[in-house]
Amino acid sequence: MSPHPALPNPGLGTYRLEGETVRNMIHTALKLGYRHIDTAQFYGNEADVGAAIAESDVPRDEIFVTTKVWHDRLQPDDLKASVDESLERLDMDAVDLLLIHWPSPGDEVPMNDYMLALRDVQQAGKTQHIGVSNFTRAQVDQALDILGADTLLTNQIEVHPFLQNRNLVAHCQSHDIAVTAFMPLAVGKVMEDATLQQIAAVHDATPAQIAIAWLNQLEIVTFPSSTKEANLKRNIEALDIILSNEEMAEIATLDRGERIANPSIAPDWDQ
């Protein structure tokens, strides 16, 4: 059961994967039961993602597809053109979720302009849901002021045991905005953590599975990335793991504000 009815969990992250690698991973994931695939203009793999979905035996309407508009395409006309380009690469009439990948650096494009353009794309039937990614609490509030309540499905942000982002998570959830977590395994660092290793041993699981189970219990949807079938299978099985209150409290102590995705275009974080 997903923490959010509209968002299948876990999803499949495709960042840094292209060509046969990403196509084979998607085929394997769909075979295992994944129904949520996350891509972006910036990933350069929309055509591969679309081809893999088209080749699959799973009907398109059973797969939840997310893509994202890159920060250099936020001028309203350009945003709309970029979405048409994404759909052409994906070979789809519409995606299930369209996100603003990063808020406009330094507010070069006013948020009012690109959020209204995002809504226009939704009203044109090119995406079922809209949302944001890497938005701060203040930016979430600004976006809601522009579009109104109950308009944004999600804020996709970095969350893992070492960057728990509690204030932002709580703020989004208080506005009925689902939190979707990228880099849930902290690019593999969870595997090396002694606390997660100890909890994993109790559950006959891996530290990665514990991190996914932890997010699931916090009602956060995630999409770990792996090209290995065994790991893809374990990531789904992680959702069956129930952590005790004591284990959840132990993981809470691991937060050290370790932000991995912090490019020069990032906003001033207000966590």
What is residue 271's predicted lDDT score, i.e. its pLDDT?
A: 55
* pLDDT of amino acid 1: 63
DSSP assignment of the chain: --SBTTB-SS-EE-TT--HHHHHHHHHHHHHHT--EEE--GGGT-HHHHHHHHHHSSS-GGGSEEEEEE-GGG-SHHHHHHHHHHHHHHHT-S-EEEEEESSPPGGGSS-HHHHHHHHHHHHHTTSEEEEEEES--HHHHHHHHHHH-TT-EEEEEEE-BTTB--HHHHHHHHHTTPEEEEESTTGGGGGGG-HHHHHHHHHTT--HHHHHHHHHHHTT-EE----S-HHHHHHHHHGGG----HHHHHHHHTT-----S---TT------
Residue 14 is predicted with a pLDDT of 97
Q: What is the pLDDT of residue 5?
A: 86
Residue 101 marked in a binding site: yes
Q: What pLDDT was estimated at residue 21?
A: 97
Q: What is the dihedral of CA 31, 35, 40, 41, to 10 degrees?
A: 70
Q: Is 43 a catalytic residue?
A: yes
> What local confidence, expressed as pLDDT, does residue 61 receive?
95
Tell me, what amino acid is at 246?
E
Beta-ladder partners of 181: 157, 222
Q: By C-alpha distance, which of 269, 260, 239 is closest to 190?
A: 260
> Annotated catalytic residue: which of 15, 34, 43, 114?
43
Query: In the prediction, which pLDDT does 3 show?
Result: 80
All domains of the chain in start order, with CATH: 12-252 (3.20.20.100)
56 touches 27 (CB < 8 A): yes
pLDDT for 172 equals 98
> Secondary structure of 166-188 in the HEC alphabet?
HHHHHHHHHCCCEEEEECCCHHH
Q: Which residues of the chain carry a pLDDT beneath 50?
A: none
- Which pTM value belongs to this model? 0.97
* Residue 8 contacts residue 64 (beta carbons within 8 Å): yes
186-203 residue pLDDT tens: 999 999 999 999 999 999
Q: What is the pLDDT of residue 270?
A: 84
